[in-house]
Amino acid sequence: MEVLMFVLMILKWIGIILLSVLGFILCLILLVLLCPIRYQAEGSYQEKIHFRAKISWFLGILKVNAGYNDLFEWEVTVFGFRILPGKKKDPAAPQMPKKDRKVKAKKDNATQEHLQQENTSDEEHVKTEKTPVNTSETPVNTSETSVNTAEIPENATETKEKQSVSEKISALIQKWKDKIADIKNSIQNVRKQADHYLAILKRAEVQRLIKRVLRMFSKMLMHIRPRKLSVIAHVGMEDPSVTGSIMAVQGILYPWVAQKVVIIPYFEEKKLEGSFYLAGHTILSVLLVLVLRMILNKDFLTLIRLLRKKEDPKNGRA
């Protein structure tokens, strides 16, 4: 009886630990899906570009900072501790292009290999000088190795040369014929595949799916869009008519941008400078729901089935 109670107690604690672990994992998943990811960026242009951006998550526990002010720098911090500092470039140090660096590395490798070859050749030369070769012991009989070229008829050599040239020409012609045949076959296959996919795109299910995807992306953009936006630009072009056209476009977009985008025109001088600020947030669960709604749609499943099985779009048979 005591052993049974002991086993039940162990199982009880194992169940508590497992439930605690599952609850912790579930809390982490909910935090990732429900905590908003906030972002903000600001910058200006006055003869030079200045830019700063920041992305934070879960009350600033995780932050990603980036900026540009004569040089680009970035960092990732967790609980205020830097874990991934970006590489900073010294603007005063001369920078060599990648192509020049590769050429320089190749030249250095070539010089090193040349020096090694010279050292090895010098060593071999010294060894050969130290060990003289006795050539008197191995006489060469030139009479046995000589070839009487007069015995080979000239007509036979000419016929062999002609045959070799004709064989090369015929092989080259056959090679080009094979290449042309392969190109024709590939073009026919591409045409068949294009006709097949065009027929799929013309189906009513696919047309409905395309409209649904466009609506999904529009909803995503509306969700990700910055809640705060401020743009101030001083614009003056060489041609005053171009400046007038820019102001006309601003007038058309005024109902949407309102006081968020302000353009100050300069008709008498050339000028281009300004600043901007934007901030917003996004929630991963909202984006995930939109994607799942599209994936679980029957039109999307029909499209996947058509692409996998390569069905005939007219009669729906494989």
- Summarised one tens digit per residue, pLDDT across range 236-276 is 988 888 989 988 998 888 888 878 888 989 888 888 899 99
- Residue 142 Cα distances to 133, 146, 147, angstroms: 20, 6, 10
Question: How many whole angstroms separate alpha carbon 176 and alpha carbon 308?
Answer: 36
Q: What is the pLDDT of residue 28?
A: 87
- Of all helices (H) and strands (E), which one includes residue 62? strand 62-69
Q: Is the pLDDT of residue 90 over 60?
A: no
Q: What's the confidence (pLDDT) of residue 53?
A: 95
Residue-wise pLDDT tens digits, 115-147: 666 656 655 554 555 444 444 444 444 444 444
Name the pTM for this structure.
0.59
pLDDT averaged over every residue in the chain: 79
CA gyration radius for the chain? Answer: 39
Least confident segment among 10-14, 25-29, 158-162: 158-162
In the chain, helix, strand, coil percent, each to 5? Answer: 60, 20, 20
Q: Which pLDDT score, from 0 to 100, does residue 138 have?
A: 44
41 close to 278: Cβ distance less than 8 angstroms: yes
pLDDT at site 134: 47
pLDDT average, residue stretch 141-161: 52
Average pLDDT over residues 170-199: 88
pLDDT mean over 165-172: 80
Which uninterrupted H or E stretch holds 119?
Answer: helix 98-130
Query: How far apart (Å, rounded) are the C-alpha atoms in residues 60 and 78?
Result: 8
41 pLDDT above the threshold of 90: yes
pLDDT > 70 fraction of the chain, expressed in percent and rounded: 73
Quick one: pLDDT band at residue 151, thresholds 50, 70, 90? very low
| Model confidence at 166: pLDDT above 80 | no
Section 49-62 average pLDDT: 90
Which of 96, 46, 56, 52 lies closest to 73 in space, CA to CA? 52
Share of the chain above pLDDT 90, in %: 28
Band of residue 178 on the pLDDT scale cut at 50, 70, 90: confident
Contact 235, 271 (CB under 8 A): yes
Q: How many CA atoms lie within 13 A of 278 on its CB side?
A: 16
What is the structure's pLDDT at 137? 45
Higher pLDDT, 109 or 45: 45
